[in-house]
Amino acid sequence: MWTRMMCFVLFFVLVEINAGTVKITDLGAIFEAGDYKVRISKNICWTIREITFKNTKLMHDCPGAYNGSVLKTRLKESGKVDWVGTGHGHEVVESVKLLIDGKVQPIKNGTVYSGNKFCFIKNSDLRVLKLNATMIIADSGIIEKHKYTVVRNSPDISLLYIFMHSFDVNMKEWLVKKRMAP
């Protein structure tokens, strides 16, 4: 009597499904994750220019809407009060960094990266303040964190826009979360 034994081999293949991409261009970067698409402009201090959610533009590129950090301060050179920051001039981007799923990636024109969580970090000089701006884009949403450090004695700041985002559509609901530093 022959005993036949059949052997079944089952292969499990685990495939990581990436939530999105980022494309680096000579003009900046375009992030896509889940329902979100965010375009940032290199020419305007690596600042958000467009945000799209579920194919609806929430914020579009338009003159005067620079969507970054802006402050009103007295300029040391002239003594006059002026606007400083994204789109108004006087912002000097000192460094940018791109992390994809926690790993630093080069920002090179023409490169397309895939990943689940994108983190873009910009360090700038705003004359009287240093800015560390971090933007996290994932399929779960967009998080922006700004940290300001005063670098001049008596900085004479009369107004500070932390996020000067100009949204295009009428919103029925907003969700804003304020988190105080520990």
Residue 175 is assigned to a structural domain of this protein: no
Range of the domain at 24: 20-161
Residue 170 is assigned to a structural domain of this protein: no
d(CA 37, CA 23): 11
d(CA 162, CA 114): 30
Residue 5 is assigned to a structural domain of this protein: no
pTM of the predicted model as reported, rounded to 2 decimal places:
0.79
Residue 13 is assigned to a structural domain of this protein: no
User: What sign does the CA torsion over 105, 109, 111, 114 have?
Assistant: positive
Report the chain's mean pLDDT, rounded to a whole number.
Answer: 80
Residue 53 is assigned to a structural domain of this protein: yes
* pLDDT tens digits for range 67-116: 677 777 877 777 788 777 776 777 899 999 999 999 999 999 999 999 99
Residue 89 is assigned to a structural domain of this protein: yes
Q: How many distinct structural domains can be found in the chain?
A: 1
Lowest mean pLDDT, pick from 47-51, 85-89, 111-115, 144-148? 85-89
- pLDDT in the model for residue 6: 44
